[in-house]
């Protein structure tokens, strides 16, 4: 009886591992092709404004801010009272001399977020609290569109126009030279995307740290390749600046009078594709300041398994499932290649489940062989070769990720990236299952909600000594005045 059960288990293991092995091999070829393009571009690519190293000298801290704002910084906020005050404080401390306005959208049933933002503003007139006039949450895109309308009202009333719109989240820590990158590059591009460097929570190094590994590898290798190929480049929704005219054209073409798609869970990802399809060009930029520090957005990502699965569920639905429906497969061969890479997460999860189940069955068969209950037949030579090739490819991928993580975070985190690869796989599988169920429900008419996660942020520095008007909230909109 045990022999028969082990024989069936052996057959199941072989079939599962064969299925997983074939798809792992296809994925390995895909990743190696990207590695090859990246290496070719690094060695022989044309050095121009798209990929030339950029450095910025720090502006003196005591420089007076330009009275005519150029950058409108949008921060959609729902239930962010715990972090928004520090986020505003970081912006004011790091962008002391910059000419910008910070627009923070808050819902009518979330006064705590508005008051926390006001406390973080410390009377600085460049901060605008935008009461949305509705109860929340609606969607992130809806919040952004309402902020857009508030910005347009300011422009009409005060007789000027912003040069760019910048997107950030309520938990972001900005870089002092970020706005200067947009000043330099937005004249020749529709939008500019800067890297995202996740902060690793010491209390949750596995879950929070796997974001650091994934983002660093993507923003060292994949995003620069996309940028130099000139294909549709998704924006991350933070650390990205858009030419004002680019978003105005999208808003003019929308019935909602806003540039952001309110029926999308990943409006930021989709926005980059829509800009490309309209003829705009995005660029991914890895620039450094005069101290050699990468100009990037830094933020804590979820350190809790459940919160991470919820967040990646939204990404999976918006990019791999509904994103397929909404943006299709337009463009050339390179565009289709990159969109296929974006949308392979659900298939990758299925392959991972098959591989793990196959390995489990194989362990059971091996244990039966050790106990003398079953003598497994020898492996087919082609199957053995497939396993060896995939094993080598897996080792290469782990090495590449560790090198990318180590370059940005140091050797200790490079070593941590090895066990975090397993954690990332587990989260991906759980998120894919949840995403498929939610997406199937949405096809029957169930709306997809703004499924936000709880955030935290490093404490902001002390009060900024910046002269200027004091902000107060009057009626339904903020106004500048004196105390």
Chain segment 40-49, per-residue pLDDT in tens:
988 887 654 4
Task: Among 187-196, 286-295, 366-375, 394-403, name the one with the lowest average pLDDT.
Answer: 366-375
- Flag whether pLDDT at 60 surpasses 60: no
Chain segment 363-389, per-residue pLDDT in tens:
988 888 777 777 778 888 999 999 999
Chain segment 148-207, per-residue pLDDT in tens:
999 999 999 998 899 999 999 999 999 999 999 999 999 899 999 999 999 999 999 999
Residues 390 and 399: their CA atoms lie apart, in Å, by 14
Strands (E), 7-99: 54-56, 71-76
Share of the chain above pLDDT 90, in %: 60
- Flag whether pLDDT at 481 surpasses 70: no
Share of the chain above pLDDT 70, in %: 89
Banded pLDDT at 469 (limits 50, 70, 90) = very low
Structure tokens at 44: 């022989």
What is the predicted pLDDT for the residue at 176? 94
Chain segment 15-32, per-residue pLDDT in tens:
999 999 999 999 999 999
Banded pLDDT at 438 (limits 50, 70, 90) = confident
Query: Collapsing DSSP states into helix, strand and coil, what is residue 335?
Result: helix
Residues 132 and 146: their CA atoms lie apart, in Å, by 6
Banded pLDDT at 450 (limits 50, 70, 90) = low
What is the predicted pLDDT for the residue at 354? 92
What is the predicted pLDDT for the residue at 74? 97
Question: What is the average per-residue pLDDT within 96-118?
Answer: 93
- Flag whether pLDDT at 454 surpasses 80: no
Banded pLDDT at 422 (limits 50, 70, 90) = very high
Structure tokens at 423: 């954690």
Task: Among 13-27, 383-397, 431-445, name the one with the lowest average pLDDT.
Answer: 431-445
Closest of 105, 129, 102 to residue 118, by C-alpha: 129
* Burial classification of residue 279, based on how many CB atoms lie within 10 Å of its CB (0-12 exposed, 13-18 middle, 19 or more buried): exposed
Banded pLDDT at 262 (limits 50, 70, 90) = confident
Q: Bridge partners of 299?
A: 198
Task: Please say whether the beta carbons of 295 and 288 come within 8 A.
Answer: yes
Residues 460 and 67: their CA atoms lie apart, in Å, by 25
- Output the average pLDDT for the chain: 86
Task: Please say whether the beta carbons of 162 and 70 come within 8 A.
Answer: yes
Which has the higher per-residue pLDDT, 456 or 248?
Answer: 248
- The most confident of 62-76, 153-167, 327-341, 427-441, by mean pLDDT: 153-167
What is the predicted pLDDT for the residue at 63? 53
Structure tokens at 117: 């933002």
Closest of 191, 279, 204, 273 to residue 238, by C-alpha: 191
Query: Collapsing DSSP states into helix, strand and coil, what is residue 55?
Result: strand
Banded pLDDT at 449 (limits 50, 70, 90) = low
- Flag whether pLDDT at 338 surpasses 60: yes
Which has the higher per-residue pLDDT, 45 or 426?
Answer: 426
Closest of 130, 39, 7 to residue 78, by C-alpha: 130
Task: Please say whether the beta carbons of 289 and 177 come within 8 A.
Answer: yes
DSSP letter for each residue of 109-177: T-HHHHHHHHHHHTT-TTEEEEE-SS-S---HHHHHHHHHHHHHHHHHHHT---SEEEE--TT-B--TT
- Flag whether pLDDT at 210 surpasses 90: yes
What is this structure's pTM? 0.87
Domains located in the chain, CATH noted: 54-309+469-481 (3.90.550.10)
Closest of 165, 186, 193 to residue 75, by C-alpha: 165
């Amino acid at each position: 009886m045990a022999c028969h059960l082990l024989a069936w288990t052996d057959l199941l293991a072989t079939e599962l591992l064969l299925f997983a092995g074939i798809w792992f091999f296809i994925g390995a070829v895909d990743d190696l092709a990207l590695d090859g393009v990246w290496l070719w571009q690094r060695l022989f690519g044309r050095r121009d404004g798209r990929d030339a190293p950029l450095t910025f000298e720090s502006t003196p801290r005591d420089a007076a801010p330009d009275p005519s704002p150029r950058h409108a910084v949008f921060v959609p906020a729902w239930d962010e009272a715990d972090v928004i005050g520090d986020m505003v404080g970081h912006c004011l401390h790091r962008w002391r001399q910059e000419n910008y306005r910070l627009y923070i959208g808050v819902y009518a049933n979330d006064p705590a977020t508005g008051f926390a933002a006001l406390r973080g503003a410390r009377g600085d007139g460049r901060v605008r609290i935008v009461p949305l006039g509705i109860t929340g949450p609606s969607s992130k895109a809806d919040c952004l569109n309402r902020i857009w309308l508030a910005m347009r009202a300011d422009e009409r009333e005060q007789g000027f126009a912003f040069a760019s719109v910048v997107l950030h989240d309520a938990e972001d820590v900005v870089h002092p030279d970020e706005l200067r990158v947009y000043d330099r590059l937005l004249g020749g591009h529709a939008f500019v995307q800067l890297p995202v460097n996740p902060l690793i929570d010491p209390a949750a190094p596995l879950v929070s740290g796997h974001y650091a590994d994934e983002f660093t590898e993507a923003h060292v290798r994949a995003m620069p390749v996309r940028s130099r190929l000139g294909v549709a480049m998704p924006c991350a929704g933070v650390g990205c600046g858009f030419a004002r005219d680019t978003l105005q054209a999208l808003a003019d073409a929308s019935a909602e009078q806003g540039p952001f798609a309110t029926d999308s869970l990943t409006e930021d990802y989709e926005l980059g594709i829509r800009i490309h399809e309209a003829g705009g060009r995005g660029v991914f930029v890895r620039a450094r300041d005069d101290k050699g520090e990468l100009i990037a957005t830094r933020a804590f990502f979820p350190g809790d398994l459940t919160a991470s699965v919820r967040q990646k569920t939204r990404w999976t639905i918006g990019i791999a499932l509904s994103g397929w429906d909404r943006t299709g497969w337009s463009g050339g061969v390179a565009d289709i290649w990159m969109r296929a890479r974006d949308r392979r997460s659900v298939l990758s999860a299925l392959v991972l489940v098959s591989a793990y189940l196959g390995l489990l069955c194989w362990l059971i068969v091996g244990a039966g062989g050790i106990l003398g209950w079953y003598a497994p037949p020898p492996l087919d030579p082609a199957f053995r070769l497939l396993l060896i090739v995939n094993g080598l490819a897996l080792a290469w991928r782990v090495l590449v990720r560790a090198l990318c993580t180590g370059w940005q975070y140091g050797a200790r985190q490079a070593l941590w990236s090895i066990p975090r690869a397993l954690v990332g796989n587990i989260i991906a599988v759980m998120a894919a299952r949840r995403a498929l169920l939610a997406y199937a429900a949405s096809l029957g008419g169930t709306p997809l909600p703004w499924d936000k996660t709880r955030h935290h942020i490093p404490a902001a520095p002390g009060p900024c000594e910046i002269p200027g008007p004091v902000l107060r909230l009057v009626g339904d909109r903020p106004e500048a005045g004196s105390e």
